Amino acid sequence: MAYVLRRLLATIPVMAVVAIFVFFLLRLAPGDPAAIIAGEDATAESIAAVRAKLGLDRPVIEQFAVWVYGLVQGDLGVSIFSNLPVTRLIAQRLEPTLALTVSTLIVAVCLAVPMGVLAAWKAHRAADRLVMVFAVLGFAMPTFLVGYGLIFIFSVKLGWLPVQGYRPIAQGFWPFLETLILPSVALGIAYMALIARITRASMLEVLSEDYIRTANSKGLTTGRVLMLHALKNASVPIVTVIGIGVALLISGVVITETVFNIPGLGRLTVDAVLKRDYPIVQGLILVFAGVKVLVNLIVDLSYAALDPRIRY
């Protein structure tokens, strides 16, 4: 319990630093959102009026204090252009991004871990070389290139899956699933390559241990040795890279949602950055950072479950 409490408390200063960095980084960036809102032909007086309305004429420290006060109350501010609460805009776009992220995680982990185990078991053989070739190519290919390639093959040429768009699960499970297959594969290729490489390396190290040779000498089946003895003891590095790979998913979501025209948080991020809509950008970065911190917390807690020595 003390271990869990320490990890929970450690997330507070991390999020505080992220909030400070995000606020001041955007404020110090070049460009004037008041001038953008007022338009190209706006006069100096109209720009000043917009700046006063948004509170941008106040000292930066005062703006930060007001923003933090609202943040503590769960208020991320109001969009400059749509005049809607940022929390509402994020909530409206959350389902597509969450569905894409979860489906990508499932596809990547369920395929990459067995591939890494197979590569380690068949080390330096054809299966191992095939997995490593996939890992190198998968990690090297840009997400947008993979996405357009999948669209060309499976949507344009074969007509099996829709080209773009997203359908919520309320419209039916299969329509919901078929709009996620290509984006999940495109987003998960690099993630799968990373997990497969780390799984192979960790399994190779464990398979050379004495207790593995003892298990083999007892006549245990290969599957039992690999899954119950080797994979369990090699799981800490694998879980670590799965958690680290969430950063790949967060950055890849922006590109993938743009390629496949999915109305999620990635598209919202692109639109907000282009319009220099400060409240939305700040809110989205905080959400993404919070997800990353939460995943790291889950990974830390899983260490204690996988290896009890870490608790001490």
Residue 276 zone, left/alpha/beta (φ > 0; ψ -120 to 50; rest): left
In this predicted structure, what is the pLDDT of residue 40? Answer: 67
For residue 114, is it within any domain?
A: yes
For residue 130, is it within any domain?
A: yes
Extract the tokens encoding 208.
């050379």
For residue 78, is it within any domain?
A: no
In this predicted structure, what is the pLDDT of residue 27? Answer: 67
C-alpha span between 254 and 237 (Å, rounded)? 27
**Integer CA distances (angstroms), 9 to 96, 167, 186, in order:** 31, 39, 36
pLDDT, tens only, 87-127: 888 888 888 888 888 888 888 888 988 898 888 888 888 88
Residue 152 has pLDDT above 80, yes or no: yes
For residue 80, is it within any domain?
A: no
For residue 83, is it within any domain?
A: no
Is residue 139 located within the same domain as residue 14?
no
From 46, 72, 98, give the residue that closes a domain. Answer: 72
Is residue 174 located within the same domain as residue 56?
no
Is residue 27 located within the same domain as residue 141?
no
Is residue 106 located within the same domain as residue 34?
no
Average pLDDT score over the chain: 81
Is residue 173 located within the same domain as residue 291?
yes
For residue 246, is it within any domain?
A: yes
Is residue 259 located within the same domain as residue 192?
yes
From 16, 44, 72, give the residue that closes a domain. Answer: 72
| Nearest residue to 192 via CA among 147, 156, 245 | 245
Cβ partners under 8 Å of residue 235, min gap 6: 202, 306
Residue 311 has pLDDT above 60, yes or no: no
pLDDT, tens only, 201-234: 888 888 877 777 777 777 777 777 777 777 777 7
Is residue 50 located within the same domain as residue 138?
no
Where does residue 111 rank: exposed (0-12), middle (13-18), buried (19+ CB within 10 A)? middle
Residue 309 has pLDDT above 80, yes or no: no
Q: What radius of gyration do the chain's Cα atoms show? A: 24
**Integer CA distances (angstroms), 218 to 209, 212, 214, 233, in order:** 15, 10, 6, 19
pLDDT, tens only, 187-203: 888 888 888 888 888 88
In this predicted structure, what is the pLDDT of residue 229? Answer: 72
Is residue 39 located within the same domain as residue 94?
no
Residue 135 sits in a domain of what CATH number?
Answer: 1.10.3720.10
C-alpha span between 29 and 278 (Å, rounded)? 11
pLDDT, tens only, 14-46: 888 888 887 777 666 666 666 666 666 677 777
- What are the phi and psi torsion angles at 292 (to 5°)? -65, -45
As a whole number of Å, the end-to-end CA separation of the chain is 11
C-alpha span between 6 and 4 (Å, rounded)? 6
Is residue 66 located within the same domain as residue 149?
no
Is residue 196 located within the same domain as residue 243?
yes
Is residue 132 located within the same domain as residue 176?
yes
**Integer CA distances (angstroms), 261 to 99, 119, 255, 272, 308, in order:** 14, 36, 10, 16, 45
Residue 183 in contact with residue 108, Cβ under 8 Å?
Answer: no
pLDDT, tens only, 281-295: 888 888 888 888 888
For residue 17, is it within any domain?
A: yes
Q: Is pTM beyond 0.85 here?
A: no
- Range of 231's domain? 89-311
Overall number of domains in the chain: 2
Is residue 215 located within the same domain as residue 297?
yes
For residue 79, is it within any domain?
A: no
From 72, 102, 126, give the residue that closes a domain. Answer: 72
